[in-house]
Amino acid sequence: MITPPYVLDSSVWVEFFLGNDTVRNLIIDRLRANEIIVPSVCAFEVALAVERRIDAEAARLVAANMREQRVDALTVDRALQAASIRREYKLAMADSIVYAAALAHHATLITQDIDFEGLPDVMYLRQR
């Protein structure tokens, strides 16, 4: 049986790497059982957040872990798809790119970003 892939939004990656137990418990099984798609813009956002909150070495370790997943590079086609999504859903640029990657791979987007709440193929995790 083929299991559907997931895209983890930057908010989820950051909480995962910072040790948020709720996020870790939800994500760890998915990391083992499903393909994880990493939009390249997430690597940027997560590395920046981890470097700010911890240090540069931690950011390098995070990047190495993200590279182990399937990276979705920002191509011209993906950028055009993201622009269309931005117009339709009024998302910010990076959010549009992340959502475009999820839709292109028929993946479920897991996020803590309220801007995605209620969109198709999104699992929104309320922050506590």
Q: Does the annotation flag 55 for ligand binding?
A: no
**Residue 1 included in any domain:** no
**Residue 128 included in any domain:** no
**Residue 127 included in any domain:** no
Residues 6+ apart with CB under 8 A from 78: 72, 97, 100, 101, 104
**Domain count within the chain:** 1
Read off the pLDDT of residues 1-26 as tens digits, 9 standing for 90 and up: 568 899 999 999 999 999 999 899 88
**Residue 103 included in any domain:** yes
In the chain, which stretches have pLDDT less than 50?
none
Q: Does the annotation flag 9 for ligand binding?
A: yes
pTM: 0.93
What CATH number should be reported for the domain holding residue 21? 3.40.50.1010
Q: Show the domain range for 60.
A: 6-122
